[in-house]
Amino acid sequence: MAEAREELILRWLAEGRDALEDAEFAATGARWRNCIGRLYYACFHAVSALLVSRDYTPTSHNNVERLFRQHFGDTGAVSADAIALYEDLHKQRLAADHSGGVFDEPQVRVWLAATRGFLAAIEELLQAPYASAPQAY
């Protein structure tokens, strides 16, 4: 069981890195809406890996967001900026996918840089021991 969980964590981390690379590629072609979606998924996969590593079972995008805020943001394990980035990218991805959101290059480039740092911070957390047991949700 632990082996399967470890494989899932590693797969989600790899998917997060791949999504970030896809976002960077989309940015080279000024495909900002596509870039936003890939940035969100880079974060989503990394956060999902983190949650699974702590024995939480994320069941939806909204659930991942809520668990991330509750167990990592509210406890101070991650910065308020990291929580805000994740939540903002989630909203922006929905706008890009469902309402034809318009994005400008300077803002997307800020999100690109922030997402690189976000993934690095999540990977660092994955290396740190977790101080408390998971709580029911």
What are 59-117's pLDDT values in tens digits? Answer: 999 999 999 999 999 999 999 999 999 999 999 999 998 887 788 899 999 999 999 99
In the block, residue with structure tokens 């989503």 = 44
Domain, as residue range, for 120: 2-127
Over residues 8-59, the pLDDT tens digits come to 999 999 999 999 999 999 999 999 999 999 999 999 999 999 999 999 988 9
Q: What angle do CA 42, 43, 47 make, to 5 degrees?
A: 125
Residue 54's nearest CA partner among 131, 1, 137, 115 is: 131
- Does 24 reside within a domain? yes
CB–CB of 121/82 below 8 Å?
yes
Tokens linked to 127: 């290396």
CATH, residue 88: 1.20.120.330
Taking the model in full, what pTM does it have? 0.89
CB–CB of 44/17 below 8 Å?
no
Q: Give the distance from CA 73 to its chain's centroid.
A: 13
